[in-house]
Amino acid sequence: RQIEALHDNPQNAFICGRNVEYGGAVCNSNGSSSSGGGGATIGFDQPASLLNFAISELVNTEQSYVRELQSIVDFYIRPFEAPENEHLIASHLRDRSDILFGNIPDLLNFHSNYLLADFLAAGNSISEICRCFLNHRNKFLQLYHHYCQNKPLGEALRREQQPDGAVAKFLRSFFNFYFM
């Protein structure tokens, strides 16, 4: 499924929800729907249908984000930190995964064990979804503040190693081993 905001100016913004499996559907700001590209039309005749769709998209997006974070931890951070791979990494980069990858493991923990868990527990209740954001806003801001503060340092460390540096070689060899 895809969701996108379509507008020609902010006053005329509306949401377009498309279910790739069933063709497209467009729901404009007044709730009417029209076919957006062949196949069966998925309409949002009631505001509740649009709300349920938005909540479903939020939960699905959060689940995808958790999977992506887990992949980064499993396929990049853990191998980078593994003692058996130490010989592949330049000595000045060892024990620097916190700089290279930031606090991604902390973000994964937060999103999978707290935010996503609360989204799932909230069901289709918009007030409970809002409560999730309110309850976790401080931790969210703390974690992403740290991530954003570290990002330039990690990028600088990666840049000084590219394209033929130790980090690039390690990540390429690891990627090729597992994905090629």
Please report, for the domain that includes residue 114, its CATH number. Answer: 1.20.900.10
Q: Provide the domain count of the chain.
A: 2
- Are 63 and 115 within one domain? yes
- Say yes or no: 123 and 96 in one domain: yes
In tens digits, the chain (180 residues) has pLDDT values of 344 444 444 444 434 444 433 334 444 444 444 444 443 344 555 777 888 999 999 999 999 999 999 999 999 999 999 999 888 887 878 888 999 999 999 999 999 999 999 999 999 999 999 999 999 999 999 999 999 999 999 888 877 776 666 666 666 776 676 666
Give the position of tokens 């090729």: 176
Q: Indicate whether 10 and 99 sit together in one domain.
A: no
Considering the domain architecture, whether residues 58 and 26 belong to the same structural domain is answered as no
Q: Domain check: are 30 and 115 in the same one?
A: no
- 137 and 62 in a common domain: yes
| Same-domain status, 146 and 126 | yes
**DSSP string spanning the chain?**
-EEEEE-SSGGG-EEEEEEGGGEEEEE-TTS-EEESSSS------SHHHHHHHHHHHHHHHHHHHHHHHHHHIIIIIHHHH-GGGGGGS-TTTTT-HHHHHTTHHHHHHHIIIIIHHHHHHHTT-HHHHHHHHHHHHHHHHHHHHHHHHHHHHHHHHHHHHTTTSHHHHHHHHHHHHHH-
| Strand order, beta sheet including 33-35 | 2-6, 14-19, 23-27, 33-35
Q: What residue numbers bound the domain in which 29 lies? A: 2-45
Handedness of CA 159, 90, 147, 61 (dihedral sign): positive
Q: 109 and 72: one domain?
A: yes
Same domain, 20 and 109: no
Same domain for 132 and 107: yes
Q: Are residues 100 and 170 in the same domain?
A: yes
Residue 83 CA to residue 176 CA, distance in Å, equals 20
pTM of this structure: 0.67
Q: Is residue 78 located within the same domain as residue 160? A: yes
